[in-house]
A and B are shown apart, each in its own frame.
Chain A
């Protein structure tokens, strides 16, 4: 593949000039960083040559300044708006794999890149798979394969003409929504990339719109009237990445096969992905038992994240649990283990980074949707799964009738107390004149054997710390003499000098 077309230099330059941006941030993921200088050079040349032509026409254009951004704080699939704002950029050009999450303040231009795919091979897999099934097929794909879909579609039509098979292939294709994104602040229309029909982004069309329009990640498609997603078989072209996992989770009632373009192979066994759904279900059940919840801020760019965080806070406090908001950048087990008091974390981030396999983590990390299930009393999981938290913002809390029943925990296999309901009742009593007496009573209550190694679970951070065995340094006032002078160790922690042989 040719470098210029791979990075869509010409199109990028055109876009930048057409909008008259003067400061532009180029965001590269780690794996493409090595190309960044070449891209900048090429882009700059292109811009200059274009401007020359442009200057002749209307003149007065300023130079475009380009900034390269690397090492994003959160997932590299999202537009790093905060980073771009450091250089006062007016626009971000995002390279590489993207989740196409809407941005808050800056317009963005996406250069997705192109991954090679063997079209004849893909067609063959697709048609042979279609022949073995009588359901309609919907083709979904990783964005890096979007460029080839037009060819595949054409080739498929031809192939079906040639073969004249009795059963007509019914194959639908999803479209890529757009490669330009305006910030959610200004609602200007954007242009489609592959298909002009690929309608521009509109904040409210995410997820399942009522008129059979579906949108997931950057893909968008419309089903004919009267058809449901369950009637379709999904054919995914692309690698086994989070994008695919989201598709599997969201359409968990559909049969899904994956065409692996790297190995030119059809993968029909996606049980591993299906397991993810069950695993998420377990995490929800586990979260229900949590007393202290940490909200991990996983994005500072995706539109509506603040709203989501507030919504989560309200939800959790409403459920009578303690909530802490944490900003730790991209989470890893070591970082989160610094908060052992949290029983569960909610990760508010773009859809593609949201699914963390919590196996390595001390406490599970769940998505806002799962949190809604877990902390909204009486809500039940019927199998539907929503990934993008923007879809949750609109879905106001379902008012579930307060069932009297105590909550049944499947982890402990019995009823567990519900802190909130119990607490409220008792608090009411405390309001009375007996409040002081009651408080005294609690203080004077016989505590468990202090030497026992067993502890009950804490309800808040301070309670957790109070139960720790280490309470900080002991002040020995009686021993006021200064300690004798000692020679410490020297060297580095990976091997102090006295340890080296």
Chain B
């Protein structure tokens, strides 16, 4: 993997304290408490939904793995007497699990994997990470520690004596592991069946010991080799199974292990779903559904998707970003109290305070709406709260209906655009979704060209697409689509009719062809050919072509009706989160620029009035490192330390003013000298300079220009 491992973030529990934070910023009247509760319940819903999705997506992979583990074990037990089995060398069954480069997501996968294995196959699972296994000794320690603890987890507290053996006292060797395994399996055997029926029926009598290498690429070759060699010596006594977690490609096994070692393994490959497909599913289930009231605006969604595609491929980070959007929305938008299920929202509208009503009146989309009304209505909306509440309820309902319709029509349009050559509107539905949120999609060039392409679709394609659309509309929750479905079905029957007619027509055309083939003189032939050509040129569109135009026009009208961008809708601010800049600030950090600002303009972070620089001068009140940094910006590639020190002392001495002038001789004060050296070494630590061997008493600058 090529990613930085972030230290696992301590889940910041949104506790009561957070609720208080919500309240402090915005005053009590804006329903901070309610917003907080809504936010939390919404996030919990979404979280469980994503977990469910992930479970479903991994199911296939895990099922395969479980099957593999079962097989690897049972074959070993059944036919030990057979000739081939005696002759064959016992290989260690190994699963190569290719998980993709998004290493940050692997933890979760392994966690659920070990859960699945624990439930289905064996209680003996060890998860090894390269950073804790620098040598074979550490690896064995970790392995044995995990295995012997897991035994305690499974059995109840009866085996006190096992608990008390501290890790240091156990000899870290395979022999002690084997004797442990024997004692454990024997114990399970000897236990009365009635007592432990459930657990022993889940696992076999001698369940395999599964060792998972989480990040196989990071292990040193020697450790892996030694471990495999040791294991292969004892495979008869200890049914080991290895699982290699691989981020890049399975070829890495062969490049890490020499043939003499890899020949001890019996490797089978398992591949997880690609993370892009994973993301598509998440977007499909989280964003393109009317289930959740909260929506992402076009720009915000674009930011999240870009981070995924351009930076990390991590679905977890995508979900984290989504969570951030939710929290930010509920925190910053007072009206987000209405961002809940429609029924609740209507109730909440009734109990809105006057301030909140004013908030609604201030919404730009609402103002636009008011301007469109007749003057009496305008006055009523702007002055009477009750009238406003009534209208708000209606508008919210409109918005809800809009969402339901939007999703169905979007899917329908995607059916059409995803099969066009070159995909003018994008291959994935998320691209189409972004385009529709961004602007009125029918005004874009891409839409125009895709319509043109759609007008050239073949009949069979059109028919299958129409059938798909019918399915989408039938299964959608929107109520307005009965007519649409009818219309689409009508198209379909017309196509069928055409087919029947086409048979007859073909007969006609065949007959005319036959006429041509008849013996004629040259003149007649020329004449008939000309006629044919003429008729073809001026020929009116065939019935099929007419119908095709009709279908495309109909789809176009659907798009124009239903795929209006969200920010044209009144009250969209309540449910749409649109401040992409906040998100970018949080997720796309720019450390270089931040560092430069901090050093160049310390006021920006320290907020000390004395530091407020006017013009380009260097304040002597600034921290030493800032002064040194500012001075070094003026130098070239090599910096003379003596000159630098002198400049530094000049700047610092300016503080003391004219009375210090007398004292400042050629000698630089020791304290200033020390301060300078400390500041310079800090700069070196930050990577701005490094000692140079080209000239004595010079350091080399490692950055160019002033950012």
Do these two chains really belong together in a complex? no
